[in-house]
Structure 1
């Protein structure tokens, strides 16, 4: 029996599951190109109702002040998601094209577990700090700083890791005392709609605290961003769209948290295990068809070992099949849409036109008759000025660039508009420390270290975004600071 939902065409607005004013739109399986079913297609009136519900819930209930109740509700949501995890897994594989092996980690189960950290913060965070007495201008006062919820949060999320990103926003925002309007990507509406169903049917989260609005209309994101009833917008997606969100939010001076693109470098120092460093970097770029903002898509290797590195990377990528995401052996599934595959293919044509060499891959796999698949691809004979070395491709594509020593490798890594993540491979701790100090990015992996976890911050430098998600820093993005001075 299929675990796919038979009735996910519902919005969650003010605690009720309702139909969309715009009717319904199709959600499609990217591995088969088949229509899975229908999702609720919200219109502007639906978004208006969701924003008003969130505003009313924040202004007229004790949600923002009852820390213990919020902790219980977030924990309750975690438990309800775990109880229905097999249905959520089926939806994620079918709708996002996520390889099923990833759903036991960052595509589903890990972000559900991360809600535990958010619930614990709600219960144990220091909400008020005593700053003691002082006499500014000769007037004695006792000062305290309170941390309070910002208010109504508009969350706009992408399709590549829908649960991870949705929960990384919902968990901290709710734990901090905010109410939320979530606008998920139209490519993965069921992933969000199922969470809305679980909230409505299996938790004590009050009406209006969480509202989930699926729609094929990208304009609803702009509506959410510009509405003065919304106090903050948190957006994950492309840098170009992030700039538009920031511009739109400026009209009401609302806070914006932006988690944007990346073109992260994997730096291999000359004392590293070349085979392990290159092989692991190449393998990682094929995960989920390269549809991850923090993947290491530039492999920066010592010039003297360049030819050997290209050979190792080619062997790794050439051995990875773009396959059925329901197969537990699959690492590289389909791209999310025909549009996205065509975008990646355009970059491959640009690479060839600029003198790059497609070493392996670069084609639609002959063994896949349906689905938006692309072979894992390696591009050589480029430098850091080439388009494919500078722009985010969002596909299973790795470029190899030679460096002439540690300083040159750092310069190559930093010569990018992005600064989201990075990776360093080497054996000398002193050299590694100097390189990690010099690379300007929000996260760094050393010799395969894993930086992803709900209790530590994630985010980037430069045009990779503003703010941090997850960890205490991510939780505090959703708080205001209020100083109270009492005369003595």
Structure 2
């Protein structure tokens, strides 16, 4: 059996193959549904992060990890099996620490990303690491050319709290499969989810010391070392756009590769030939999932002005039927926000909506009977223009803004009138009109009539200030590779 995946002694650092406490002692992790203390996590300091980076650098430079894809595939499958063997313990940690609704742990909150490690293990074995180009004669010199894809080197992965397993594994899986070594810095709100990954990797896999490191810390700024340190070759960051800018600026000093998956304010566009009731009910439901704490959730509902009253009625009725509740309950869709700080942020936007002249149609407060924990009612806001802050800024809570439009062209314009371009939805019946709207919206993923874009083999990422690069799929795997051209006399 492994060490306790709820490490009460705070031994949650994995550095150079060893589990240890941090130089800063320990910090507390809590339950957002109750506000209660759960336990302790290792509080790393700069010297701990420096040691993890050094271990990753040595493992990349001095071992055969980067040149042995079959071995890497085997190690990833070992990690997947270890996670599966302890899936119930991981499930309870995820519900307790992240406030994840139990129903979602059977999908993207846990079991899905664990299963998806197999995709990257398979890819490590099947990928074309070397490709011959046609013979060419540059400047009259007959030349045989070969493209080689090689690991970037040391990867610093900085992850948020909202879907910790999905995002941790979407970075660690392809980065390791591609032959890199990794230092994972998780969010302070969900250290145990990452620590469990480190414990199982250390005790149930043949991953060599230094190849995979986990550094938990109460201080967000510990992750900045990964962007600044010249021994790190790539930083993969998921989080807010504001923090992404800081990561980008810090990485500029060493001109390292940067992958950024940032914020969103995605539009759910309902065309006038759509089933208004079905579409608006889906929009209302989806924004409440995990209390709206998903960067790709559609938080602006665009409806035809001619159907506005009907859309408002259906959306309000659906949201009023969704209760913020205990994430451990199998029926719960909308659990707690991650912290009091995040609840305050969401409530401040609801107050702002009122000050800006908007109407809070449904919700807007804390649910009755939920005095403990960090809950906000599913909230529908009407009467604001798309230029309002509430319609422009990422709130990260169960808050939906409904906006009327006149004609397909205006729907496209409003959808694009945002600094973000991460995701969205289009509902309608005319294929040509749907295709026009889909082609016109500048965003990285779109679902049509309920189609689901999330899958391990499908690239995910955004346009504009929603990020740089793609995660998942072959495209996400290739973010962790360099391209080398070798030329020989033919």
Question: Aligning the two structures, in what range does the TM-score lie when normalised by the shorter sequence?
Answer: over 0.9
How many angstroms apart in 1 are the aligned matches of 2:127 and 2:6? 38
Q: Is the 8 A contact 2:5 2:192 kept in 1?
A: no
> Which residue number corresponds to residue 334 of structure 1?
336
How many angstroms apart in 1 are the aligned matches of 2:8 and 2:244? 34
For residues 52-451 of structure 1, the aligned pairs below 5 Å read 52-451=54-453
Residues 221-230 or 134-143, more deviating: 134-143
For normalisation by structure 1, the TM-score amounts to 0.99
How many angstroms apart in 1 are the aligned matches of 2:77 and 2:10? 24
Name the SS of the counterpart of 1:17 in structure 2: strand
Give the deviation of 1:4 after TM superposition: 4.6
Give the deviation of 1:487 after TM superposition: 2.1
How many angstroms apart in 2 are the aligned matches of 1:9 and 1:240? 31
Q: Is the 8 A contact 2:7 2:40 kept in 1?
A: no
State the superposition RMSD in angstroms: 1.0
How many angstroms apart in 1 are the aligned matches of 2:5 and 2:226? 32
How many angstroms apart in 1 are the aligned matches of 2:106 and 2:6? 18
How many angstroms apart in 1 are the aligned matches of 2:263 and 2:57? 31
For normalisation by structure 2, the TM-score amounts to 0.98
How many angstroms apart in 2 are the aligned matches of 1:203 and 1:6? 23
Residue correspondences, number: 487
Q: Is the 8 A contact 1:3 1:86 kept in 2?
A: no
How many angstroms apart in 1 are the aligned matches of 2:10 and 2:107? 24
How many angstroms apart in 2 are the aligned matches of 1:23 and 1:50? 17
> Which residue number corresponds to residue 29 of structure 2?
27
Q: Is the 8 A contact 1:302 1:403 kept in 2?
A: yes
Q: Is the 8 A contact 1:8 1:194 kept in 2?
A: no
How many angstroms apart in 1 are the aligned matches of 2:429 and 2:45? 56
How many angstroms apart in 2 are the aligned matches of 1:443 and 1:9? 39
How many angstroms apart in 1 are the aligned matches of 2:300 and 2:280? 11
How many angstroms apart in 1 are the aligned matches of 2:233 and 2:7? 34
Q: Deviations over 1:121-165 (max 9, x none)?
A: 100000001013222112222100000000000000000000000
How many angstroms apart in 2 are the aligned matches of 1:148 and 1:372? 45
> Which residue number corresponds to residue 464 of structure 1?
466
Please, which runs of 5 or more residues in structure 1 have no aligned partner? none
Give the deviation of 1:9 after TM superposition: 3.2
How many angstroms apart in 2 are the aligned matches of 1:49 and 1:271? 59
Please, which runs of 5 or more residues in structure 2 have no aligned partner? none
How many angstroms apart in 1 are the aligned matches of 2:122 and 2:154? 22
How many angstroms apart in 1 are the aligned matches of 2:48 and 2:10? 16
> Which residue number corresponds to residue 40 of structure 2?
38
How many angstroms apart in 1 are the aligned matches of 2:262 and 2:288? 20
Name the SS of the counterpart of 1:286 in structure 2: helix
Give the deviation of 1:76 after TM superposition: 1.3
How many angstroms apart in 1 are the aligned matches of 2:134 and 2:430? 47
How many angstroms apart in 1 are the aligned matches of 2:371 and 2:390? 28
How many angstroms apart in 2 are the aligned matches of 1:79 and 1:456? 23
How many angstroms apart in 2 are the aligned matches of 1:104 and 1:366? 28
